[in-house]
Amino acid sequence: MLDRLPAGAPRGVELIDGALVWTPPQTASHMLTVRLLEQGFQVPGGLAVAWGMTVTLDCRQRPRADLLIVRRAALTLATRTFFPEDVHLVVEVASEPSIDRDRTTKPAKYAQAGIKHFWRVEEEDDQPVVYTFELEPAVKAYVPTGIHRKRLQTFIGFELDIDLDLKRVIG
């Protein structure tokens, strides 16, 4: 259904519980936060960064993530959406209209699909705050691994160290 939308349909459509969900246009803060994180990712050879892509979890679930770290080989098919086994990390940058989905609905669905790492990014004092989670495989649920302000230092199978100051990407 999602792949058969007319050419003029709004961008940012995702499939949640079998229903098409339209997301409003991005704010400047949202766009800058995505850019900041993307520029900060230094991923190892077998992985790549993707943005604005849907993740096909099953026939009723195809959420659109803001950023993904995926297996590089998954990028070789031009018409492909990502499947859980391709995804190493999902990043959702929360905004007012999507906050409930980003805090509850999407993490639960990503965890049930077995995606190992999930980050939710919210705004505090005009700067991003990154909430990091890792999958606890026995119960297929995310456990928190940190709350990051100003600097994101974490290990997700490889080290990441990202300065979270939005001024770095405005100029």
CA dihedral 10, 14, 16, 19 (to 10 degrees): 30
Residues across the chain: 171
Judged by phi (left if over 0) then psi (alpha if -120 to 50, else beta), residue 137 lies in alpha
C-alpha–C-alpha distance, residues 77 and 110, integer Å: 22
**H helix runs in 5-136, sequence order:** 28-40, 99-100, 106-112
Q: From the first residue on, what is the mean pLDDT of each consecutive set of 10 residues in the chain (171 residues)? A: 65 86 85 95 94 90 94 82 91 92 96 97 96 97 98 97 93 66
Domain boundaries, the chain: 2-170
**The pTM is what?**
0.92
Label residue 8 left, alpha or beta by phi (over 0 means left) and psi (-120 to 50 means alpha).
alpha
pLDDT at position 5 is: 66
Residue-wise pLDDT for 59-104, tens only, equals 899 999 999 999 999 888 777 778 899 999 999 999 888 899 999 9
Q: What letter does residue 131 receive in the DSSP assignment?
A: E
CB atoms within 10 A of CB 146: 13
Identify the CATH homologous superfamily for domain 2-170: tt1808, chain A (3.90.1570.10)
